Structure 1
């Protein structure tokens, strides 16, 4: 009896995970992606598979590769020259728990905020959320290192934020 129960408990979660929910939106394509971005910035510039636009005064580049079924939204942050080991460590910590779906990345001598996702299953709200998070990691670089209001947890950022809060509380006591 116990063996059958254990088998059922192990098997049933796998069955639940294998059931796919039907897509609520049509597959994302380069054309659909461009139409969504065009609604955000009428000054959108299309260069082949690259979309260049501005959100909240920040330049954004989205590149889609239909053959690989991937897309990448990128926001330039700073030159990578001069990044210290502490800078890199903090960005890696943020990538684990506070950057959310956006990430810090280095390419071509530049520090970027990026959001990478499979293209065809990408839904409009996921795209919008990814763009906001990418802009937010760029804006909070050097301070909060966050993609938004939430922290996934289990990483180092909570302790770092707690240390900052404690430091600010101490300074507040001195005033």
Structure 2
């Protein structure tokens, strides 16, 4: 048990170091050793959005697809020719957006491993998940604090993980540097470059 805790701590510290190094490269150097946050009084007042509700979510979705179909707490609609199902539970204060990808039958252990790697570093806030015999792209979030832009981002990320399944397994342009996907992408790039040389 002590060995497992030690190994876990070493892994966490390694990720912290990687994240810190990546963050340091993107943070401008202001000449000080410590990053200083502004006083709360110095922050601009941001307009607060009303809490997300089923009705507000339905209005946003119908602005995207006027032919969206609601059934109870679920709404099905199409965005960029991709079907999306959104289910919300106000009592549990949760929502999920889901895009079906394929049958889960026949997923190899190697592919399942790749999906888990993508969930860690490239799928962003969306995730790959298996339920009811299918592979899904899924985004899960508390309902009431969800802002309109977050909801739209949820739809885009969920569509992206579905569309990039079997290729880059990506929810968008960002990749967490502490995962395995960068190395996998480097190998993929080498293969594509080699293929380009043969053409």
TM-score normalized by the length of structure 2: 0.76
Report the 3-state secondary structure (helix = DSSP H, G, I; strand = E; otherwise coil) of the residue aligned with 2:86.
Answer: strand
Q: 1:37 is paired with a residue of what secondary structure?
A: helix
Alignment pair present for 1:102 and 2:144: no
Q: Which residue of 1 aligns with 2:30?
A: none
Q: Which residue of 1 aligns with 2:155?
A: 131
> CA separation in 2, counterparts of 1:58 and 1:172?
31
Q: Please list every run of 5 or more consecutive structure 2 residues that lacks an aligned counterpart in the other structure.
A: 1-36
Q: Which residue of 2 aligns with 1:122?
A: 146
Gaps of 5+ in 1: 1-12
Q: 2:96 aligned with 1:72, yes or no?
A: yes
Aligned to 1:153, which of 159, 177, 188? 177
Q: Could you tell me the TM-score, scaled by structure 1's length?
A: 0.86
**Secondary structure at 2:175 match in 1:** coil
Aligned to 1:82: 106
- DSSP 3-state at the match of 1:170: helix
Aligned partner (choices 37, 44, 51) of residue 27 of structure 1: 51
- Paired residue secondary structure (1:32): helix
1:73-96 deviation digits (Å, cap 9, x = unpaired): 000000000010011001000000
Q: Deviations over 1:24-45 (max 9, x none)?
A: 2000000000000000000010
Deviations 1:127-154 (A, max 9, x none): 0001000001000101110001111221
- Computed over aligned residues only, the root mean square deviation of the Cα atoms, in angstroms, reads 1.8
Query: Which consecutive segments of 4 or more residues in structure 1 shift more than 6 A?
Result: none
- Offset of 1:23 from its aligned partner? 6.9
